[in-house]
Structure 1
Amino acid sequence: MRGKRSHKGKTRFFTAPEELDRQIGRKVEDDTLQHDDFSPSTSNKAAPGSSQTSDTSGEDDEGPDEVHHKGMSHLIEVCNPNQGAAVIDDGPSRKEIEAAARAVADPLKLKSEVELASDLARLALVRKEREQAALKREQEKQARDAAREAAAQRAQAKLQALRQKGKPGQHKRAAAKDPTKKVSDGVQTTDSCAVTADAH
């Protein structure tokens, strides 16, 4: 590695934009001075027999604005974004403005007429389904209440029948002792009880 050296570790030097402008200005001045030295008008100045007044009139004909360039550098435009001053944008971006407007605006205004119509149709369907579900729940509640009321009435009727017959088991004992004898509380013989039991 004696003969070859890597250039990666070297520090790099950058020239400030102001310094570049000064150097470019000097180069332009030097170019114009050198160009004027080699131009035919200067050779005419040096020619014998010419007066100073004629030389000054010749320079006025060319015009001071005309600059003679050397090479191709005047044809190439250099656009270096780092040379110009940085543009500072203090205002919010377009996306931020639109997001803020959307946040403040009414959400219904953002939707199109087709979307609004579909939303209203969907809401009508949901409302109808909810009404049907509420009606169904009400009918089920009424059916449960009616079933509960019927069960309570049946239980009350059974209780009443048991009270009229007396204690349970007393009727069977009396019938077992004498099948032809009538039992108290308006119940006939065991044969009629069997018939009424079959009827139920």
Structure 2
Amino acid sequence: MSKLVVQMYLSLDGVMQAPGAADDDRDGGFTHGGWMAPHVDKAMSRDIVELHAQAAGLLRGRRMYETMARYFPHLTDDENPAASAMNRVSKYVASRTLTAVNWQNSTLLPGEVGSEIARLKEQRGDEIQVLGSGQLVQTLMRHDLVDEYRLWIFPVLLGSGKRLFAGGTMPAPLALVGTKVTATGVVIHTYERVRSRLST
């Protein structure tokens, strides 16, 4: 059985929208894209690459997949240290609108997301990582398919934007299993899903 890991970059007030670049996601008139950049140093970049190297599979929604598929196939490790790992690893794309995926080692999961991912977790026995893909993560949480959250909390307040734990989040107990603070003030919390019911 695979462990499904959600790795998400969040502002201090919980916003996950467009951390990497201004034009990543302007839904809702969001104008703060690229907010994580001032806090990313060489050590953090190295940590991100090492975490990606742990993945035997990457799970993406359509928007995140298309963004990465335009970028990584044309890069070398000198240009982006994660390039080789991203191109080599198995990639699974949850989409009902795509008809084909052309980035090497990519597989389209066109059916109902909950059952497709549950089946994928049963077939594999290693770590599947989800990075970004906020809408997909919301679906995974509703189906209680997430085993671990790696939350990178950046010291910035945005005031608006899409949030990871928004209204309708399913109640679930978690256990804090790791915390790290970077030199730029980013706090990385790792939580495991506790497979028991919350007391009422």
Which TM bucket (shorter chain)? under 0.3
TM-score by length of 1: 0.15
The answer to which structure has the higher strand fraction is 2
TM-score by length of 2: 0.15
The answer to which structure has the higher helix fraction is 1
